[in-house]
Chain A
Amino acid sequence: MTSWQNNRAVRDARIAAGAGLARGKVVEAHDVTRLLEAVIRPGDRVCLEGDNQKQADLLSRALLAVDLSKVNDLHMVQSGVVLPEHLDLFDRGVAKRLDYAYSGPQSARIARMLFGGKIELGAVHTYLELFARYFIDLTPHVALIAAVSADREGNLYTGPNTEDTPTVVEATAFKDGVVIAQVNEIVETVPRVDIPADRVHFIVKADKPFFVEPLFTRDPAAITEGQILTAMLAIKGVYAPYGVQRLNHGIGFSTAAIELLLPTFGERLGLKGRIATHFALNPHPALIPAIESGWVRQIHSFGSEVGMDDYIRARSDVYFTGPDGSLRSNRALCQTAGLYACDMFIGSTLQIDLQGNSSTVTTSRIAGFGGAPNMGADARGRRHPSESWLKAGAEADPDSPAPLRRGRKLVVQIGETFGDRNVPLFVEKLDAIELAEKLNLELAPVMIYGDDVTHIVTEEGVANLLLCRTAQEREQAIRGVAGYTDVGRRRDRNMVAHLRERGVIRRAEDLGINPLDADRSLLAARSIKDLVRWSGGLYAPPSKFRNW
């Protein structure tokens, strides 16, 4: 007779195999490797929670130590490949295949291992894609997750850095998988229930709190005059004319400069309340002065940021918080918000080509794009209007009748024409294409496709690609803001002058901005200490950012 509940039986067998090592659901830290050997089977799909920030580091080390005769050839399905142990798994043969979204700190090593054949690559996804596939064909057999605390029943408090956990658990627990959580402490009652106990099968108390990387802290002291000028151009050349209220910011210094110019330069332009009121954004410390000045009404976050907990707790009108008062973040929902509810994405990149395609992948680094492609894409399924969305749509397509015309999300790439170590931002051909050729990939790892990009902002001006009618215009608009890079110096001067007359390119003087006014005194905070002062002492920056 056909059985329709094989997977449930397997799940029960896995749990039974692990139960011998547990008292209730609690397993001692020194037994974790044995637990994993009991629960995981060769070839399993395993999600080892590696988020953008929060890392299940104890479970990574435990998995790395398994007996290869019991556990091998795993298929890792995790959003972040961040810790060295994540890749050591492949070197040791514990794991074989990988589907992921982001690998910031490991980007160089992952590139070498892909070239060396150590990793069989499924695909480099965006966050939303990988989460979506958790529910279709990449559902984990076992999820190894991280939480702040658990009670004896297994209810979990994931704290401000909830991030991916609810999504991972949803996919695993409701499709016959096993969920194992490392927690910083086991308590009588958790501050709030982020994950209900019936979705958690084993809990392990870690010897030290899980590692969290402060990824979103930009020291205002490092912001340059060039970045300030670029930020002024963006505010006056993009935010103001479209009246952008709902948006997402990247994590670079240019967007940090924008955040710090809102209460000064933005205030002088009379833009308060008209722009930048609602964000899909991590708790950026650089946004504190704008929040304190009453610019920002609401922020939903993908994750949290080290040192921001007390500030967030005290500003619950702005942030999403639980009944316990601490931040509740959720990457999948915030990514969805960024894709569908935001009128603008603005962020930086490493390379932009003549069509406007951009990528942070170079031939030696495969960082993955995390959420940028979800934020930085026009959502074709969007149906609700806004001033900004309709105006951008009309610029792109002035001839269609208004009731049938799609709006457009503003996708803005911002940066200086030359980046770190004088490497040009603009290139004739993306390194990503060369990489795809070398690795035989069917798809080049492009972060944002040119046809989604609406504006490029550099210290040379704003290029509005919505107004370009031909590929040639588009190319010259890009060359026109590429400054002294090779791409910029090969521009057709007459055509660029013509595009400027049409307002496709707008330079500082066209926007009434004097580059000599781009001074650090314009920044609402010029140091981390200033941010602490703005927060009334609530922001507690990590030691590496202090100079006191």
Chain B
Amino acid sequence: MEDLSFQHRVRGRAGGTRQNAIVGVVASGNLEVLVERVLPDAECVVDIRTAAMGFGEIWSAVIGDFVERYSPGGLKFSINDGGARPDTVSLRLAQAVRSIAENGQ
């Protein structure tokens, strides 16, 4: 397993009022993303534990594009990855943002 962590300064706070949400499942080629509203508004953190070693550069590019596009301020993302492809990672991250943007507990 490999641990990776990315910190980004972002433009603004992510929408919604939910405190946390989870999407995806840990399986071959799949991943789970736990997102929690626990950070200051201008910060975003993505912590990753992945079964696929040596893909740090690709993760960095995927997370960079994601943060740029969604401006997920105040959110901490924790990922358990079973070796998902980058497009699956992007999709799950977008689903996590959509999920926590819903109103509710």
Contact = CB atoms under 8 A, between A and B. Distances in A.
- Asked if A pairs with B, the answer is yes
Interface of A: 224-226, 229, 416-418, 422, 459-460, 483-484, 489, 515-516, 518
A521 to B, nearest CB: 14
A118 B91 CA distance: 48
B94 A484 contact: no
Given A422-B52, A489-B61, A483 B87 contact: yes
A417 B61 contact: no
B61 A226 contact: no
Contacts of A484: 58, 61-62, 86-87
Nearest to A420: B29
Contacts of A418: 85-87
B95 A416 contact: no
B7 interface: no
B87 A226 contact: yes
Q: Please tell me the size bucket of the interface on B.
A: 10 to 19
Interface in B43-61: 52, 57-58, 61
Nearest to A225: B91
In this complex, which of B62, B86, B91, B98 has the most chain A Cβ atoms within 10 angstroms of its Cβ? B86
Given A229-B87, A417-B86, A483-B87, 20 more contacts: A225-B88, A225-B91, A226-B85, A226-B88, A226-B91, A229-B91, A416-B85, A416-B87, A418-B85, A418-B86, A418-B87, A422-B83, A422-B85, A459-B87, A484-B58, A484-B62, A484-B87, A489-B57, A516-B94, A516-B95
A203 B85 CA distance: 53
B95 A483 contact: no
Nearest to B85: A418
Contacts of A225: 88, 91
B91 A515 contact: yes
A26 B57 CA distance: 68
A165 B1 CA distance: 54
Contacts of A518: 91
Given A225-B91, A226-B91, A484-B58, A516 B98 contact: yes
Given A422-B52, A484-B58, A484-B61, A515 B85 contact: no
Interface of B: 52, 57-58, 61-62, 83, 85-88, 90-91, 94-95, 98
A302 B67 CA distance: 49
Instruction: Give 9 closest A-B pairs by Cβ, nearest first.
Output: A484-B86, A418-B85, A459-B87, A226-B87, A484-B58, A484-B61, A516-B94, A422-B85, A489-B61
Contacts of A229: 87, 91
11 contacts: A226-B91, A229-B87, A416-B85, A416-B87, A417-B85, A418-B85, A483-B87, A484-B62, A489-B57, A516-B94, A516-B95
A229 to B, nearest CB: 8
A515 to B, nearest CB: 6
Contacts of B57: 489
A483 B98 contact: no
Contacts of A416: 85, 87
A357 B83 CA distance: 29
Contacts of A417: 85-87
A355 B82 CA distance: 33
Contacts of B58: 484, 489
Contact of B86 (A224, A483, A516): A483
Contacts of B52: 422
A460 B87 CA distance: 8
A544 B21 CA distance: 38
Nearest to A224: B88
Nearest to B84: A422
Contacts of B98: 516
A422 B30 CA distance: 12
Contacts of B87: 226, 229, 416-418, 459-460, 483-484
A442 B94 CA distance: 49
Q: Which of A416, A418, A460, A518 has the most CB of B within 10 A?
A: A418
A483 B57 CA distance: 13
A483 B61 CA distance: 10
A531 to B, nearest CB: 24
Nearest to B98: A516
Contacts of B90: 515
A484 B95 CA distance: 19
A516 B87 CA distance: 12
A518 B92 CA distance: 12
A395 to B, nearest CB: 28
A28 B52 CA distance: 57
A483 B95 CA distance: 19
A103 to B, nearest CB: 28
A225 B92 CA distance: 10
A300 B94 CA distance: 42
Nearest to A484: B86
Contacts of B85: 226, 416-418, 422
A226 B89 CA distance: 11
Nearest to A230: B87
Nearest to B89: A484
A229 B62 CA distance: 18
Contacts of B61: 484, 489
Which one of B57, B90, B94 has the highest number of Cβ atoms from chain A below 10 Å of its Cβ?
B90
A226 B95 CA distance: 13
A489 B65 CA distance: 12
Task: Count chain B CB atoms within 10 A of each CB in A226, A417, A483, A484 and give the residue with the most.
Answer: A484
A347 to B, nearest CB: 20
Contacts of B95: 516
A422 B58 CA distance: 12
Nearest to B59: A484
B74 to A, nearest CB: 21
Nearest to A458: B87
